[in-house]
Amino acid sequence: MLTVHHLRISQSERIVWLCEELGLDFAVKLYDRRADNRLAPDEYKALHPMGIAPVITNGDLVLGESGAICDYIVARHGHGRLVPAADSADFADHLFWFHFANATFMTTNMMALAVATSGAQPSPFVADRHRKGWDMVEARLGEAPYFGGAELTTADIMMGFALTTGRAFSGFSIEPYPNVRAYLQRIGARPAYQRAMARAEPGMPPKLD
């Protein structure tokens, strides 16, 4: 059976959400973070050579990396759902935001968090990239209801974590971003998202504002 190994308060929640959107029969195994350093426990690190979330198993398969897992699950189980067709007007935008999520947006947010927690002086380079990223997100959500265009796609699955649970680490406020706030209300109203968060983070309200 397809099993999502979910490290609590981590980007592996994306994969639980994806599976719920597709209506798959899958298992979720929860792992609590260590109390001393808030990192993954040894049991989780042993799943994959990188020792980081997310990880899925499916029979003998062990697969990491959010984007790779999304592509694998959609190719095997999507049946044309959650990815626009190559001739769709939304296809290029979907691809951009799907890859932007971890390649640029999450990376920049993590750099900004690292600078802030270290007590170092803010880097103009990091601050500028951080601002540009959030401005792009706000602009996109003023143009289309979803990152992938007219319908929810795996681009939204990838982008969603940084806009929601990912902010739990930084306390970053989305008050200045009305399009982001409206988008998160749309996401939060989806039954599949509600089911996913109930399974992935029981007892923790989704961070939608």
Question: pTM to 2 decimals?
Answer: 0.95
Token pair of 88 as six digits: 């769709």
Q: How far apart are the C-alpha atoms of 94 and 92, rounded to whole Å?
A: 5
**Has residue 171 got a pLDDT over 90?**
no
**109-131, pLDDT tens digit by residue?**
988 888 787 878 778 988 899 99
Query: What b/e string do you get for 82-108 counting C-beta neighbours within 10 Å, with b at 16 or more?
Result: bbbeeebebbebbbebbebbbeebbeb
Contact assessment for residue 184 and residue 208, using Cβ atoms and an 8 Å cutoff: yes
Q: Shortest CA distance to 19 belongs to which of 48, 54, 45, 52?
A: 54
Helix axes 178-188, 124-143, angle to 10 degrees: 60
pLDDT tens sequence across 60-106: 999 999 999 999 999 999 999 999 999 999 999 999 999 999 999 99
Mean pLDDT of the chain: 95
All domains in the chain, ordered by first residue: 2-82+193-200 (3.40.30.10), 91-190 (1.20.1050.10)
The count of C-alpha atoms lying within 13 angstroms of the C-alpha of 160, restricted to the half-sphere facing its C-beta, is 31
Tell me the β-bridge partners of 29: 5
* The two three-digit tokens of residue 171, written as one number: 């306390």
Neighbours of 35 (CB within 10 A): 7
